[in-house]
């Protein structure tokens, strides 16, 4: 019944697993990426990702960390198939090196037709415009392929680099959610940025 009532929000089929920009390829994360992606995340976590990340137990060894990453990738596969999360690795052209991750997550259909966007770029590759380039492409994926109505970013006030990305792309600032997320070991405020399909269509006409 809902598909008949909201035909404009039915996702395109097949949903693309590979997206391109001028300098990047965003591709669906795969089981075989576990080792390389674990090492990238491990090297980027201290002082770069840690302040903005949920609490986690450090693996006792790299082998254990890779096994945990493989399990996380399998779970992301299920969520992709169920239409809840769409996670991509950010890789550079032409070498295909993995430099981060971006995803459309917590997709809510029904009367909401909305989702969140999250991303990170490795410590060595920041300040080169890669996050902006990847985010602009993932917004197009969300609106034109997933056919969502609204996409939202929650960004901590201290995360100046991510704030600049949202503002550079002209996302609408909606306010501050006080003590909304438990990150970096404490409850943190988050700044909320959003864009709707109407706004996206207007800027692309």
Cα–Cα–Cα angle for 25, 31, 33, nearest 5°? 50
Alpha carbon distance 62, 69 (integer Å): 10
CATH number attached to the domain at 2-6+15-203: 3.40.630.30
Q: Give CA–CA dist 96/107, Å, rounded.
A: 28
Do 142 and 148 form a contact (C-beta atoms < 8 A)? yes
Q: Can you tell me the distance from the alpha carbon of 72 to that of 124, in angstroms, rounded to the nearest whole number?
A: 24
Structure tokens at 23: 């300098």
Please tell me the distance from the alpha carbon of residue 27 to that of residue 16, in angstroms, as a whole number. Answer: 9
Task: Please determine, for residue 78, whether its predicted confidence score (pLDDT) is greater than 90.
Answer: yes
Q: What is the pTM of this model?
A: 0.95
Question: Which three-class secondary structure state does DSSP give residue 8?
Answer: helix
**Region class of 184: left (phi > 0), else alpha (psi between -120 and 50), else beta:** left
Task: Provide the pLDDT confidence category of residue 204 given band limits of 50, 70 and 90.
Answer: confident
Dihedral-angle region of residue 170 (phi above 0 means left; psi in -120 to 50 means alpha; beta otherwise)? left
Tokens read off for 66: 């890779």
Q: Show me where the domains of the chain are located.
A: 2-6+15-203
Report the pLDDT value the prediction gives residue 116, as an integer from 0 to 100: 98
pLDDT in the model for residue 5:
61
pLDDT at 2 over 70: no
Residue of higher predicted confidence among 57 and 195 = 195
21-74 pLDDT, tens digit per residue, is 999 999 999 999 999 999 999 999 988 898 888 888 889 999 999 999 999 999
Structure tokens at 72: 């996380």
| Sheet strands (E) in 3-138 | 18-20, 24-28, 86-92, 98-108, 114-121
């Amino acid at each position: 019944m809902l598909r008949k009532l909201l035909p404009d929000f039915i996702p395109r089929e097949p949903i693309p697993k590979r997206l391109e920009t001028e300098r990047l390829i965003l591709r669906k994360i795969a089981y075989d990426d576990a080792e390389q992606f674990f090492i990238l995340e491990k090297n980027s976590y201290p002082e770069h990702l840690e302040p903005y990340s949920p609490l986690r137990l450090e693996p006792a060894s790299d082998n254990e960390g890779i096994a945990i990453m493989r399990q996380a990738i399998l779970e992301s596969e299920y969520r992709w198939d169920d239409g809840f999360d769409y996670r991509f690795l950010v890789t550079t052209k032409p070498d295909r090196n993995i430099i981060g991750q971006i995803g459309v997550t917590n997709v809510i259909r029904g009367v909401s037709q909305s989702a969140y966007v999250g991303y990170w770029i490795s410590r060595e590759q920041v300040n080169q415009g890669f996050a902006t380039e990847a985010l602009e492409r993932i917004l197009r994926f969300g609106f034109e392929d997933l056919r969502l109505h609204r996409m939202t970013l929650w960004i901590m006030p201290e995360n100046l680099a991510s704030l600049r990305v949202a503002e550079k792309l002209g996302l609408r600032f909606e306010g501050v959610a006080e003590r909304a997320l438990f990150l970096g070991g404490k409850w943190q405020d988050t700044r909320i940025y959003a864009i709707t399909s109407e706004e996206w269509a207007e800027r692309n006409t």
